[in-house]
Amino acid sequence: MFSRVAVVKGERGLDPVYKALDLIEYQEALEPWNTVLVKVNLLTSDTYETGITTDPIVVEAILSRVMDLGKRAVVVETEGGTTSPDTAVVETGMMEVIDRLGAEYVNMRKLPEKVTLKVENPRAIDSFEVARITTESAIISAASMKTLHHTGITMGLKNMFGMLTTRRKFGYHPYGMNEVIHDICKTLPPTLTVIDGFYGKEGRGAWQGNPVKMDTIIASSDPVAADATGARVIGIDPK
């Protein structure tokens, strides 16, 4: 059995994202859900051309497609970086897009209803806490294309680490981040992955390194296939 992964090259804009989504038949994947969460990467207030945070134009295209289906669209993030996502969503220009389209933004750590998810046959962690809304909605992991010293790459799968509502996420690092990410994504898999490669970033840290203009969007309903393809695109063996 093969997974479909769209790889679209094009200058920064809405059309490459639309094309990537259309190639993976996103409507069928989202059909069972009334609410769609778009998990962005807002570690800092650095803007899209740094390659660190998710590009607002990518989010605009995703929100437009989701809302055209009549779904409730919510951009979500939690604390965990150097900047509060409540600040970063404004300073990166993403809030302007959300407001203009009539979508919503939620900091999941501030939601009162949380649930603890148990991990079956865990590699690193037995359970983790998330906002209840994540278990009642489709999730689109809208990730940046970056390298990272302790996981090799940080794309769609690593972006799901930000679903955890704990503020001190660094406490999970000693367990082995690859194993922690495995446990999270196995237990709470994203419905779709969209990797923002208009600008990528190479370097050791999540916010250290150099931006690279890639002009690439990757999308799939298979989160592992999406990241494996993203790794190949930047010359890294996904295994």
**Continuous segment of H or E residues that includes residue 225:** helix 223-233
Those residues whose C-beta lies under 8 Å from the C-beta of residue 199, and which sit 6 or more positions away, are: 12, 48, 49, 50, 51, 55, 211, 212, 213, 214
pLDDT of 37 reads 99
Could you give the dihedral angle defined by the CA atoms of residues 191, 192, 196 and 200, in that order, rounded to the nearest 10 degrees?
70
- Give, as one character, the DSSP assignment of residue 121: S
| Structure token digits, residue 215 | 């002009």
Residue 114 has pLDDT above 70, yes or no: yes
pLDDT of 203 reads 84
Read off the pLDDT of each residue in 55-63 and give the average, rounded to a whole number.
Answer: 98
Residue 208 has pLDDT above 90, yes or no: no
Residue with tokens 């367990």: 175
Q: What angle do CA 51, 187, 142 make, to 5 degrees?
A: 20
Residue pair 59/101 in contact by the 8 Å Cβ criterion = no
pLDDT of 168 reads 80
pLDDT of 151 reads 84
State the average pLDDT for the chain: 95
Q: How far is CA 137 from the centre of its chain?
A: 15
| Structure token digits, residue 80 | 């965990």
Residue pair 93/80 in contact by the 8 Å Cβ criterion = no
Q: How far apart are CA 195 and CA 155, in angstroms?
A: 7
Q: Model's pTM, two decimal places?
A: 0.97
**Continuous segment of H or E residues that includes residue 228:** helix 223-233
User: What percent of the chain has pLDDT above 90?
Assistant: 87
Read off the pLDDT of each residue in 158-173 and give the average, rounded to a whole number.
Answer: 89
pLDDT band at 205 (very low <50, low <70, confident <90, very high): low
Q: How far apart are CA 225 and CA 223, in angstroms?
A: 6
Residue 207 has pLDDT above 90, yes or no: no
pLDDT of 174 reads 86
Phi (first) and psi of residue 37, to 5 degrees:
-95, 130
Phi (first) and psi of residue 211, to 5 degrees:
-70, 150
Residue 24 has pLDDT above 70, yes or no: yes
Residue pair 221/29 in contact by the 8 Å Cβ criterion = yes
